[in-house]
Amino acid sequence: MDAISQIDDAGATAAVRPLRAAVIGAGMAGVLAAIKLRERGIDCVVFEKGDRVGGTWRENDYPGLTCDVAAHWYTYSFARNPEWDRLMARGPEIRAYFERAARDHGVLPLIRFGEEVVRLAYDGERWQLDTAAGHRDSFDVVIAATGVLHHPNIPHFAGIESFAGASFHSTRWDHAVALDGRRIGVIGVGSTAAQLATALVPRAERFQLFQRTAQWVIPRPNTPYSEAERERFRADPAALEALVQELRAKTLEGYAAAVIDVDSPELAEIDRMCREHLATVRDPDLRRRLTPDYRPACKRLVISDDFYAAIQQPNAELVTAPIERIEPQGVRTADGALHELDVLVLATGFQVDRFIRPAKVLGRGGVDLDDVWDDGPKAYLSVTVPDFPNFFLLNGPNSPVGNFSLVEVAERQTNYLMQLIDGLRRGDYREVSASREALQRFEAERREAAKKTVWVTGCASWYLDKNGVPASWTFSFERFAQEMAAPKLADFETR
């Protein structure tokens, strides 16, 4: 990650034209963008719809919440954290890390909390910004760091309004609801549901998990760090950095290589590990119902050492009959059974194609981003859209996603767009955005590469857009790092 720091330092040397920048979102990527803008002396305002920083780690606070990426890799390269409690950190600890980073780097005074951006319009010179609260301002640059894991996907179940108990989406957890000794139902079987099962089975009188499609689960011990290890990391930053790079290499050489090549030995190894772990389920019928009918990693892998143990407990039940409707007493399934519940949780994921929407974004000549994205969100190298000058996205459409660090992804993207912003500051141009030709070429190549990925081998997942094409980076992570090293200005329209 040294290259990122070197490029940032070099990019911060020249300031000719004063700029004002708006950052939308104060999650991991928004805090990062504000830090890098502030380092350049750029006047920056961060607009955050919530009441504190943290992004997905503020939105999600359900029992058992844990990041499935190694915590030491899930940090800014310039703000490593020797204090992580265990290999994969729990949600409150991660939220506290980003809150601390925002405070320590002077970002908090730049944030307007409770200000949801509802409209952006480019007037030929600057971006005009409006918030739901009635605030209006104008900016030379806009960075959308809005993430994807905050618009809950709430499927409608007939009769759900009639349920007499407590019901909520996992991202809107009601902590006033008692859980101990209750009959709890969870709809969904992704990472959130697996973490909920692990946390709630020991507390519930009865726990029922409603599964529509089985998920592959790969084991990974969540080993605690000892005080001696943390003391070593505090005293020796080089040792900590060596651990970060070791964790990074293991993931990129394994998972990241596997998903882009269905014939790779790395994917074969993931397959073996998943199937061996599934074999630990003792009951043949339960094991059969937990067995997916698609290849491992086609959907996002669930990483858990203890989900299978939890769902095998005497007070736990996997329900695979389709849900017919919700009744006051509980969930009625298609086999006629009524599953009586006190608490019903929807662990049904997120609308991952929203990005900056539902804000209205109007680019050059009034072109509407909703129209541009009518067939699905697209951005050149995931960060810039033709006809939307000086408008950038972090973790935008077709970014690398999966079981690796989105912090590194955002940091590399931030480094890339800061180089474009440096050109604005030097006066090299007043507008910069990808050309339509560059986006078309990138999209064609990305879609061709998608044909070799595991994501198109026969499953329905949030990795796929409405046309069945992976809405993610379909190349190697090494290529992502190379592309993000420096912009190719020939692929941009500048004015």
Amino acid identity at 188: G
Say what the pLDDT of residue 461 is. Answer: 80
pLDDT tens-digit series, residues 400-422: 877 679 999 999 999 999 999 99
Give percent of the chain above pLDDT 90: 84
Provide the angle, in degrees to the nearest 10, between the axes of the packed helices 406-426 and 477-485. 20
- Checking if the pLDDT of 151 tops 90, the result is no
- Checking if the pLDDT of 149 tops 70, the result is no
pLDDT tens-digit series, residues 205-248: 999 999 999 999 999 999 999 999 999 999 999 999 999 999 99
> CA separation (Å) from 289 to 190, 276, 278, 380, 388?
15, 16, 11, 41, 48
CB 421 within 8 A of CB 396: no
- Checking if the pLDDT of 8 tops 70, the result is no
How far is the C-alpha of 182 from the C-alpha of 194, rounded, in Å? Answer: 18
Which of 273, 271, 194 has its CA nearest to residue 457?
Answer: 271
CB 165 within 8 A of CB 339: no
Annotation: CATH topology of 2-151+351-494: FAD/NAD(P)-binding domain (3.50.50)
Which of 443, 425, 445, 426 has its CA nearest to residue 434?
Answer: 443
Amino acid identity at 138: S
Domain boundaries, the chain: 2-151+351-494, 160-221+247-346
Which of 269, 229, 489, 266 has its CA nearest to residue 384?
Answer: 489
How far is the C-alpha of 356 from the C-alpha of 25, rounded, in Å? Answer: 9
Kindly report the number of other CB atoms within 10 A of residue 298's CB atom: 22
| Cα angle 234, 231, 243; round to 5 | 65
pLDDT tens-digit series, residues 367-407: 999 999 988 899 999 999 999 999 999 999 999 877 679 99
DSSP state string for 155-222: ---TTGGG-SSEEEEGGG--TTS--TT-EEEEE--SHHHHHHHHHHTTT-SEEEEE-SS---EE----
**Which sign does the torsion angle of CA 78, 81, 86, 92 carry?**
negative
Annotation: CATH topology of 160-221+247-346: FAD/NAD(P)-binding domain (3.50.50)
Say what the pLDDT of residue 358 is. Answer: 86
> CA separation (Å) from 111 to 27, 95, 487?
11, 16, 29
CB 362 within 8 A of CB 121: yes
How far is the C-alpha of 236 from the C-alpha of 232, rounded, in Å? Answer: 6
How far is the C-alpha of 143 from the C-alpha of 32, rounded, in Å? Answer: 11
Say yes or no: do domains 2-151+351-494 and 160-221+247-346 share a fold: yes
Contacting residues for 120 by C-beta, under 8 A, at least 6 apart: 127, 128, 129, 130, 142, 356, 359, 360, 361, 362, 391
